[in-house]
Chains A and B, each alone.
Chain A
Amino acid sequence: MADISIRQVYKSYGRTEVVHGVDLDIHDGEFLVILGPSGCGKSTLLRMIAGLEAISAGDILIAAKRVNDLEPRQRGCAMVFQNYALYPHMSVAENIGYALKVAGIAKAERLRRIATVAATVGLGDFLDRLPAHLSGGQRQRVAMARAMIREPQVFLFDEPLSNLDAQLRVQMRIEIRRLHRRLATTSVFVTHDQIEAMTLADRLVVMNGGTIEQVGTPSEVYHRPASRFVGSFIGSPAMNFLAATIARPGIATIRAGHAIAFAETDFTAPPGTQVEIGIRPEDLIVTSPGTPDAIEMQVEFQEELGAGRLVHGRFAEQDFIVQLPAGHKPVASLSLFVLAPAQAVHVFDAQTGRSCRAAACSTGPA
C-alpha cells in the first residue's frame, strides 16, 4: 500500500517535450484512471512511475520515498501491459512465479503462492500451458496474476483491455474492479476508452497534450467538465458546442440570434465575452415549433439505439446531435425544435477553452 506523489514532472525526448509539468497526488488504496487521446502523454506518465522511462525534471514519490533514481524492481510496482508481454517460452506457472524466482524465494513457497494466485484469477487448470496455447482473456489473466503475486505497493495498468473483444473487455473490467475491492492496492490505470475510465475510476484524470485537464470523480468530470476538451472527450455521443456571446449574467446569445439561458450562479463571465456553449445531446428537450429561443435544427438522419434514439442534424452551420428518450417516435419532420434547460448548459471561454464556472470545479491544474 502506498500513495504516489507526482510533482512538476516533465518528460522530453531530445527537444520534444511530451509531458509538461504534471502535478498529481494519488491516494493510498485508490483506483485512479488516466484518460486521454493517444499521444497525450498518459502512458509516458505511467511508465515514469514504473521506472521504465527516465524523468526529465520533477519528482515522483512512492510511499513518501523519492524514486526518480530507483530501478523498476526497487519501486514496488507491478505492471500489466497492453499486449500482456508474457514470456513465450515459459509455462503459465513459470510466468506467474518468475518474479519470485528472481527474488530467490524457495520453490515450495513459490509453488504455493502460484497456486493461490492462479486460483484467484481462475487459471488453476492451465498452469502447465504455454502462453501460445491460451486465449486472449486467459493471457490477460496470466498478466494480472504475474502482477499480483508480488504483492506490490502499486498496480500499474497500461491499456490492459484494449486487445480484448468487447464482451471480454466488460468481463475483465468487472474482474479488475472486484480484485481492487479485495486487495485495495493503489492502482493507476491508463486508457483511452471513456467507458472503461468512468466505470473503473475512483478518481479520473483527463490528460491532453501532455498536461492534466481535470482531476475528479467520474461524476464530477462528466457533469462539471473543467474545459471544452473534457466536455468533448467524455460522453458519447459528444457534447454539442455553439459559439455565443455573453449578453448579460445568465444569458448568452448564439450567433444565429437565439438567446440561451445558463445558471448564472454557476458561470460568471463579463458581458461581451466570447464563449462556447456546451450542451449534451441527452440534456436537450424536444419542444413544439415556434417556442421562443428554441433551437431549430435541420434533421439529417437518425440512429436507433434501442435505449434511445439519436437525431443527427445541423444548426448554425455546425453538426448537432439530440438524444431522444426510449419510446420516442421517429422524427418525421425536416426540422426539430429543442430547448436546453439552463442547469444543463456549460459555458467555456472561447479563447482559453476553460470552463467559466465560478468556483473552479474540483481540482483543475493551477
Chain B
Amino acid sequence: MSVILDILASVGMWEAVLRIATPLILGTLGVLLCERVGVLNLGIEGIMTFGAMIGWLTVYSGADLWTGLAAAALAGAAFGMLHAALTVPLGLSQHVTGLGITLFASSFSYYIFRLAVPTASSPPTVEPFRPLPVPGLSEIPFLGPVLFNQTAPTYLALALVALLAWGLYRTPLGLAVRMTGENPHAVEAQGIDPIRLRIGTIMAGSALMGVAGAFLTLAAFNSFFPTMVQGRGWICIALVVFALWRPGRALLGALLFAFFDAFQLRLQTAVEGVPYQLFLMLPYLLSILALIVMARRARVPQALMQPYRRGER
C-alpha cells in the first residue's frame, strides 16, 4: 500500500500524466473530428508513425522544432486527403481504406527513415522541446510543476481542446460538421456541400494525428524508431468512443488513460516478482474495458461509415 501512496504523492508521476496524455489528446481530437463528420479514420496509427518520422527528420536535417511539427501536420493532412479521396467521393470501405493507409504510411515512414539513416546502431537524436514554465503559476507548490511546467505542444493540445469544443458547438461551421456526421442529406438541403466539408474536416483531423506522432519524437522522446507508436492510434479510436464524441470528455479520457499509464510505469519498478509485460498490457486492456462500459451509452454519429452519394438514398 505504501508503495502506491508514495507513487501517488510524487510530483514526477503527475508531471508525467500531461506529457503522456498530449499525443493521446491530439490523436483523439483528430479521430473525433473525422468521426463527427461521418468518416472512420483507421489511418491514424500510420499517420502518427509518419508524423513522428517526418517531424524528427525535419528537425534532424536542421530545421527548428516548430517547423518539424508543421511538417508533421502537413504530411498528416496529405494522408488525410488520400483517405478522404478514397472514402468520400468514391465511398470505398472506410475500414479497409484506413487500414491500407496505416500499412502504407508506416512502411513508407520506415523506408524514408532507412534511406536517411542507412546504418546506425542507435537512432540519431535531436534536441527536443524543453519544458516551458509559465511565469508565476509554475511556482505554486505541487500544482505548479504538474500543470505549468510542460512543453509548448502540451499547452497547444490543451488550447485545441477548448478551441474545438467552442468551434464544434458554437460556430456555424461546427454545426455543419456535426450535421454532416448525422445527416448529410440535410446539409446538402442547406446549400452546403457535404462532400467538400467531409474532405476538409478529415484533412484537419489527420493533421492533428500527424502532430500527435511528432510529439513523440520531438517532446516525449528525442529520436525515431520503428513501431514507436505502439498502438497509441488504436487507443485514440477507443478513447473517442469513451468520450462519446465530445472534445471535453476526450481530454478527460486521455488524462485518465495517461494517469493509469504513468502509474503502471512506476509500479513496474516498485513492485517485484510480477512480470513487467502484465503492466504493459494494462493500457490495451483498459481501452477494451472502456469500450465495453461505453458501448451501450455510445451515441454514434448517425451517418458514421455511410458514404454519401448525391441523389442516392
Real binding pair: no
Point out residues on B near A: beta carbons under 8 Å: none
Point out residues on A near B: beta carbons under 8 Å: none
